[in-house]
Amino acid sequence: MENTFYDLKELFQQSGCPICALKSSFEERYLDTLLYENVNDPKVRERIRSQNGFCQEHIQLIFQSRPSVLGISIIYDDLLRHHLQTDEKESKETVCPLCLAWKEKNRYIHTTLVKHWNDLKATYNTRLFFCPTHIKQYETDKIIYQDMNKLTKENLKKIGADLSSFIKKYDYRAKKDSITINEINSWQEVLEYFASRRLRNNRTHRPA
């Protein structure tokens, strides 16, 4: 629980939605552990097989991030063999193991954020915001929900001003070297807000 608090505290001092960032790093660690360390574990393979693999969102993430092409191939070779041997009438609904793992982790995040809200709020970065998906999860915590909305709107206005400035400075007649880092990042931050997902990639690739 305390590790989650320190992770949140660090992310509150950065740009973007801290919960999106935590989700992204959680998914990366999960896939790294699965595809590098547990890919040949019979119990792990059996569980993934019984849950019918991953959801469409996480298959797309696996394809885009490609932490280990060999690991992906081993998992999906096993899934394909099972799929071809299964009668259509016996096919099961997909219960994504990564979705289940994140759901459990997100409960800890919610509990920690509510408990330490005042401490976290005191350190926030002026580029911090909460995306529509994650802010909705705090509707029942009225004071925190109001704070999140207020903070998000204030910071999105600043990001929006940088985005407008970026567009103007991108004109062929303008000096490109006058574009600031905040202006360069603004279009990415806005996309992340509407996507409710961390899009900037901080992954360090390991060999397949």
Say what the pTM is.
Answer: 0.88
Report the pLDDT value the prediction gives residue 200, as an integer from 0 to 100.
Answer: 84
Question: What amino acid occupies position 118?
Answer: N
Exposure class string for 150-166: b at 16+ Cβ within 10 A, else e? ebbeebbeebeebbebb
* Residues 47-53, mean pLDDT to the nearest whole number: 93
Q: What is the pLDDT of residue 178?
A: 82
| Structure confidence at residue 91 (pLDDT) | 63
Q: Among 143-152, 167-176, 194-203, whose mean pLDDT is lowest?
A: 167-176
- Band of residue 203 on the pLDDT scale cut at 50, 70, 90: very low
Q: How many CB atoms lie within 10 A of CB 14?
A: 12
pLDDT score recorded for residue 90:
63
**In the 3-class helix/strand/coil scheme, how is the chain assigned residue by residue?**
CHHHHHHHHHHHCCCECHHHHHHHHHHHHHHHHHHHHCCCCHHHHHHHHHCCCCCHHHHHHHHHHCCCHHHHHHHHHHHHHHHHHCCHHHCCCCCCHHHHHHHHHHHHHHHHHHHCHHHHHCCCCCCECCCHHHHHCCCCCHHHHHHHHHHHHHHHHHHHHHHHHHHHHCCCCCCHHHCCHHHHHHHHHHHHHHHCCCCCCCCCCCCC
Rounded mean pLDDT of 157-166? 96
Mean pLDDT of 35-45: 94
Convert the pLDDT of each residue in 54-110 to its tens digit. Answer: 999 999 999 998 889 999 999 999 999 988 988 766 667 889 999 999 999 999 999
**pLDDT value, residue 101:** 97
The pLDDT-based confidence of 4 (bands split at 50, 70, 90) is very high
Arithmetic mean of pLDDT, 181-208: 81
Q: Could you tell me the pLDDT band of residue 157, with boundaries at 50, 70 and 90?
A: very high
